[in-house]
Amino acid sequence: MIFAPLHIISGYSFLQSGLTIEKIKKAVKENDYFGAAISDINVLYGVPKFVKMMDEINKPYLIGIEISLNGDNISIYALNDEGYKNLCLLSSLLNKEMDVSSFLKDNHQGLLGILSTNEGHFKDEFSKEIDSKFTKYLLNISRMFDSFYLGIEVTSKDEVHYANKVRKFAAEYTYTTIAFPRILYLNKEDAIILDIVHAIKEDENISVKEKTGQHYFMKEADYSKIYSKSELSKTVELIKSSTLSFAKKRGEMLHYPVEDSVQTLKDNVYNGLKEKSLNQEEYLKRAEYEIGIITSMGFADYFLIVQDFIKHAEDVGILVGPGRGSAAGSLVSYALGITKVDPIKYDLQFERFLNPGRKTMPDIDVDFMDTRRNEVIDYMREKYGENRVAQISTFQTIMAKQAIRDIGRIYDEFSSRSWLIDNLSKTITDPKLTLADAYRKLPAFKKLVDSDHDYLQIVSLARKIEGLPRQNGLHAAGVILNNTPMESSLPVTYDIDGHYVTQYESIYLEEQGFLKMDFLSLRNLTTIDYCVKLINENHQDVSLDPKHIDFDKPETYELISKGQLTGIFQLESAGMKRAIKTIRPSRFEDVVAVISLFRPGPMASIPTYARRKHGEEPVTYLSNDLKEVLEDTYGVLTYQEQVTGVAVKMAGFSVSEADLFRRGISKKKADVLKAMEAKFLEGCKKKGYSDKVSKTVYDAIMKFANYGFNKSHAAVYAYIACEMAYLKSHYPLEFYASIMMTASSTSDSKFSEYVSEMRSRNIPVYVPDINHSEKNFIIYNNGLLYPLGEIRGITYILVNNILEERKENGPFTDFFSFIVRMFKYGISESSLEHLIRAGVFDSLNPSRASLLASIGKGLQYADLISSGQGQVLLDDSLLPPPSIIEVKDNPLDNLNDEYEALGIMLSSNPLSYRSDLYDKYDIVSLNEANEHKGNFKIMGIVKSVKIINTKKGTPMAFIKLFDQTSEFEVTIFSDLYSDNMRYIKKNNILLIEGSNKNNQGESSFIASKIELIEN
């Protein structure tokens, strides 16, 4: 092909193109273009993926951006490494909305500029009489680039004459013209995509209509009719002229600011060991070994940087996690205070973290309190410079469900019929599926699409935008550190605070050698920190340090073994609780083991581990020589590190070779597996093992390889879990106050579970009280008091006003005095209703129905005795408050209101008097019912009943039940409804048997039997 399309705008110019990178690759390959280029508007977001795709089909490329300069659109491309550096700087400047003219005059080296002559200032002026002002203007632009061309685009017969005029002008003034069609979608019929994405961007409505356009990938014969041979061949020449190597290493390790980082690392490590009283020969030899590998690989600065920001965090009171991942296998990390688990004591492997035979960057991820993580990143910016620290972009892609919703929202034909969109969306049960996959794999989705032209049309339109990038965001944890200013090595954009954000995604940055660190948020650390503060406040004889909690106590493991694990990091799932009750941990190592075993594959070994631990079964080994490797886990293969231990012991591998062996077999590639098996068996043979034993051991490893867990990672997870279990076992009130503080009744599904467990331990949770509740949960009367800040419908402004008024003028004495005192803050009828329903006035007047009926009176009274500024003008002795309107309370209505206000029932449990039924019938609580399989029973109070008629004209019902934990919807089909309709009434207590069924991708509980429980 003598042509390469250079003016491709991809979907990374958000909502301005219909082209994914995959579609560009498809077009380049199918049309056999010589190569291609993308030039997105101001940004290089899509460049790494584009380069990768072009490499896959072995096609050369150019990379660039399109900018607007003095009203003209100019596409600028990098022709070499110097040009790429300038392009990165230019794109970064554009994202600050700065003028780039002066920049281009001084930094044009390696840049190619192509001006679009079919639009903008050029076209406006060219259509007039050409004068010296215009020619001078164009000359000035051309001088901003090493190479400059006039881009010709012809999209209709009407434009041929104009294009010829441009060609004539170019010849006269010695400019070169080049074929430069702007490409925005794959095929002619895809022109409608531009209307769709524009409507999405501007939140406008459009109508369904077919549309064709000219901004698509054409065949060679079509381009040859429009452009001259030289204009077409020039596109190829330009791509050939590029010497840019995009894939080269561009990142440079950030230097820690000391003269000799290697010596500083050594000093810090040995000082750290001394402070921990670990001067034994075993520790000193391991430290020397690790330091040798770390420094030989050039990572001394890396470790010093991590040590420094962790120390800073701890110095300013930010709780840091004990480590994460394989980094916990490093004694150097432990000595520097980067991790908190002794790798020698717990037999953790350094090579699992850093292997001299595997040339990869070290990977130390660090957890911080979720409320203060950003402070650590700010510290990095201050210490190393704003332009050497950047967070990482991610891109939100329009997936199947989103595409359907977008089409439904913008098209007039569908926007008024939202049920069409709801029906389709509900059937897509796997969010990762494309629409095409959904049609093939989901019968309910296929049935809908085949049943109605409207559904087919929605899906057809949705497929046109599916896969397009929609917007960029921030990586949850990733931060890039570089020794030189970011924008000279890669393009950046900026967050709302002006901080650097890379334009490239994480995977591509690591490929280019940039140092990435994960600064992770962990809510459990916030819980621990808050809990320790409460303990130290409430217990004068206790002074706990959240950084060093001595959790290794019998009470810690007793609580874990009992399965009282709600709120405990990594241990609170129902399946994990069952595993723990089976194993009954009595030491830290057991907790590490259960975290590793609770995975597909190794899970089958949990009963074996438990029986052997408790002496119910003899401990055996695959080979007696493996006792040293597997003794700590009772002969059960539990950790990835044990695989390497087996390879060292039996096959004679070095630790480094054994780690490569472990990695190799986990990838399950046939050729790799064959080579690994041969090497392992040969090694075993040399060490005198029989073929039978060697093969048995190898097969056992292979079964385990895909699922094995990293022991270092499990150890640091267990560390946090045991810290929390210690706090929970010794200081339960403070612990529950802390997990409730970091949870939320409005968003945390665990909230009701926390309350249920507290009740099982006879720890009460009280409804909020207007005179005692604070913003967060507090310890009150040997239980917890619900906070004002968690009442639904109550703003934080109102909460602050209540607390301020209470602090300044004392407790509230009655309901009307509360209204009068809060009148100056603009207390509303709605806010008063929410407060009453939550029970905050129960201590002043227990009749919630009476208070609700008296709100109007109270507001009128407050208005009467107050000035416009809320000041009380009349003494209540002169104008006494009105009487409360007495209304009889309905206890179930009150509980229902309480549930709506708090997300849980606290004042009483309406089902408690029939708690015997829970065990008798094995009743599932409503908050667990969604996850239950098979036929099971539930019990609850009827909150609402909705009756509809089926197609046959017979009534059926949808009812909402509630208990003290949750709400749950039940579907009752016609026959069952007919037999039980006398029971299906609001406030009745029903025992219902049924099962969860999947209907068109949505789960519903279908009742099969109903029984009325006497109320």
pLDDT in tens, 893-949: 898 899 889 988 888 877 776 777 888 888 888 878 887 888 999 998 888 899 988
Strand partners, 8: 38, 183
Confidence of residue 85 (pLDDT cuts 50, 70, 90): very high
Q: What is the mean pLDDT of residues 441-459?
A: 91
The pLDDT, as a whole number, for residue 312 is 98
Q: How far is CA 3 from CA 180, 213, 463, in A?
A: 10, 21, 29
Task: List helix spans (H) across 569-690.
Answer: 574-583, 588-597, 606-613, 627-630, 640-651, 655-666, 670-686
Residues 6+ apart with CB under 8 A from 940: 911, 926, 961, 962, 963, 968, 989, 990, 992
Confidence of residue 866 (pLDDT cuts 50, 70, 90): confident
Among 530, 566, 539, residue whose Cα is nearest residue 778:
530
The three-state (H, E, C) secondary structure of 308-323, written as one string: HHHHHHHHCCCCECCC
Helices 855-865 and 815-822, axial angle in degrees (round to 10): 50
CA 701 to chain centre: 33
CA angle at 826 for the pair 825 and 830, rounded to the nearest 5°: 125
CA angle at 199 for the pair 193 and 201, rounded to the nearest 5°: 100
Half-sphere exposure (Cβ direction) of 690: Cα atoms closer than 13 Å: 5
Q: How far is CA 186 from CA 217, 222, 458, 542, in A?
A: 6, 15, 20, 70
Structure token digits, residue 600? 């597909």
Q: Which helix (H) or strand (E) holds 133?
A: helix 132-142
Half-sphere exposure (Cβ direction) of 663: Cα atoms closer than 13 Å: 13
Confidence of residue 284 (pLDDT cuts 50, 70, 90): very high
Confidence of residue 704 (pLDDT cuts 50, 70, 90): confident
Per-residue pLDDT of 185-197, as tens digits, reads 999 999 999 999 9
* Structure-token match 């969010």, residue found: 431
Among 842, 803, 763, residue whose Cα is nearest residue 566:
763
The pLDDT, as a whole number, for residue 739 is 93
Half-sphere exposure (Cβ direction) of 897: Cα atoms closer than 13 Å: 18
CB 974 within 8 A of CB 955: yes
Q: Which helix (H) or strand (E) holds 197?
A: helix 192-202
Confidence of residue 880 (pLDDT cuts 50, 70, 90): confident
Write out the DSSP string of 415-471. Answer: HT-HHHHHHHHHH---TT--HHHHHHH-HHHHHHHHH-HHHHHHHHHHHHHTT-EEE
CB 814 within 8 A of CB 769: no
Name the pairing type of β-strands 366-369 and 955-962. Answer: unpaired
369: amino acid identity, one letter = M
The pLDDT, as a whole number, for residue 933 is 83
Residue 511 has pLDDT above 70, yes or no: yes
Strand partners, 999: 1002
Please state, in angstroms and rounded to a whole number, the distance separating the CA atoms of residues 624 and 647: 14
Strand partners, 962: 941, 967
Q: What φ, ψ does residue 939 adopt, rounded to 5°?
A: -140, 135
CA end-to-end span of the chain: 83
Q: What's the Rg (C-alpha) of the chain? A: 35
Per-residue pLDDT of 631-682, as tens digits, reads 999 999 999 899 999 999 999 998 888 888 888 887 766 777 788 889 999 9
Among 811, 733, 807, 808, residue whose Cα is nearest residue 766:
733
Question: Which is more confidently placed, 402 or 962?
Answer: 402
Question: Which is more confidently placed, 609 or 248?
Answer: 609
The pLDDT, as a whole number, for residue 676 is 85
The three-state (H, E, C) secondary structure of 791-828, written as one string: CCCCCHHHHHHHHHHHHHHCCCCCHHHHHHHHHHHCCC
Among 916, 896, 899, residue whose Cα is nearest residue 988:
896
Q: What is the mean pLDDT of residues 31-41?
A: 97
CB 647 within 8 A of CB 656: no
Q: What is the mean pLDDT of residues 517-536?
A: 96
Structure token digits, residue 224? 């040859």
The pLDDT, as a whole number, for residue 1 is 64
Polymer length in residues for the chain: 1015
Among 709, 708, 707, 711, residue whose Cα is nearest residue 588:
711
Q: What φ, ψ does residue 941 adopt, rounded to 5°?
A: -95, 135
Confidence of residue 356 (pLDDT cuts 50, 70, 90): confident
Per-residue pLDDT of 133-164, as tens digits, reads 999 999 999 999 999 999 999 988 888 999 99
The pLDDT, as a whole number, for residue 672 is 77
Q: What is the mean pLDDT of residues 301-306?
A: 97
Q: What is the mean pLDDT of residues 305-328?
A: 96
Which CATH number, 1.20.58, 1.10.3450, 1.10.150, 3.40.210, labels domain 743-902? Answer: 1.10.150
* Exposed / middle / buried, residue 3 (Cβ in 10 Å: 0-12, 13-18, 19+): buried
CB 37 within 8 A of CB 61: yes
What is the homologous superfamily of the domain 912-1013 according to CATH?
Answer: Nucleic acid-binding proteins (2.40.50.140)
The pLDDT, as a whole number, for residue 97 is 74
Please state, in angstroms and rounded to a whole number, the distance separating the CA atoms of residues 61 and 46: 13
Helix (H, G, I), strand (E, B) or coil at 947: strand
Confidence of residue 204 (pLDDT cuts 50, 70, 90): very high
Residue 746 has pLDDT above 60, yes or no: no
Residue 965 has pLDDT above 80, yes or no: no
Residues 6+ apart with CB under 8 A from 800: none
CB 254 within 8 A of CB 481: yes
924: amino acid identity, one letter = V
Residue 324 has pLDDT above 60, yes or no: yes
The pLDDT, as a whole number, for residue 867 is 64
Residue 347 has pLDDT above 70, yes or no: yes
CB 666 within 8 A of CB 706: yes
> Is residue 413 left, alpha or beta, with left meaning phi > 0 and alpha meaning psi from -120 to 50?
alpha
Residue 747 has pLDDT above 70, yes or no: no
* Structure-token match 């599916």, residue found: 466
Per-residue pLDDT of 554-564, as tens digits, reads 999 999 999 99
Q: How far is CA 791 from CA 773, 782, 825, 828, 968, in A?
A: 11, 22, 18, 15, 21
Per-residue pLDDT of 397-426, as tens digits, reads 999 999 999 999 999 888 788 888 988 988
What proportion of the chain, given as a percentage, has pLDDT over 90? 73
Strand partners, 62: 37
Q: What is the mean pLDDT of residues 831-858?
A: 97
Strand partners, 996: 1005
The pLDDT, as a whole number, for residue 920 is 83
Among 621, 632, 564, residue whose Cα is nearest residue 593:
632
Q: How far is CA 909 from CA 100, 328, 592, in A?
A: 68, 47, 38
Among 257, 259, 264, 323, residue whose Cα is nearest residue 291:
264
Helices (H) and strands (E) in the chain, counts: 43, 20
Helix (H, G, I), strand (E, B) or coil at 113: strand
Per-residue pLDDT of 465-497, as tens digits, reads 999 999 999 999 999 999 999 998 999 999 999
Structure token digits, residue 344? 């020698």
Task: List helix spans (H) across 57-115.
Answer: 81-94, 101-106
Q: What is the mean pLDDT of residues 496-505?
A: 96
Tell me the longest C-alpha to C-alpha distance in the chain.
Answer: 105
The pLDDT, as a whole number, for residue 999 is 63
Structure token digits, residue 737? 């106050």
Write out the DSSP string of 88-99. Answer: HHHHHHHTTT--
Question: Which is more confidently placed, 751 or 976?
Answer: 976
Q: How far is CA 781 from CA 766, 778, 787, 985, in A?
A: 9, 10, 14, 38
Strand partners, 515: 481
Residue 749 has pLDDT above 70, yes or no: no
Q: What is the pTM of this model?
A: 0.87
The pLDDT, as a whole number, for residue 1015 is 62
Please state, in angstroms and rounded to a whole number, the distance separating the CA atoms of residues 263 and 266: 5
Q: What is the mean pLDDT of residues 602-626?
A: 93
Residue 873 has pLDDT above 70, yes or no: no
The pLDDT, as a whole number, for residue 319 is 98
Among 299, 293, 312, residue whose Cα is nearest residue 255:
299
Strand order in the sheet with 469-481: 366-369, 515-522, 469-481, 389-397, 500-502, 492-494
Q: How confident is the prediction for the chain on average, in pLDDT?
A: 92
The pLDDT, as a whole number, for residue 460 is 95
- Domain positions in the chain are 21-241, 261-394+474-523, 399-466, 539-725, 743-902, 912-1013
Residue 239 has pLDDT above 70, yes or no: yes
Q: What φ, ψ does residue 905 adopt, rounded to 5°?
A: -95, 125
Fold classified for 261-394+474-523: glyoxalase-related enzyme like fold (3.30.1900)
The pLDDT, as a whole number, for residue 752 is 77
Fold classified for 21-241: TIM Barrel (3.20.20)
Question: Which is more confidently placed, 922 or 748?
Answer: 922
* Structure-token match 């909690």, residue found: 549
CB 939 within 8 A of CB 917: yes
The pLDDT, as a whole number, for residue 216 is 97
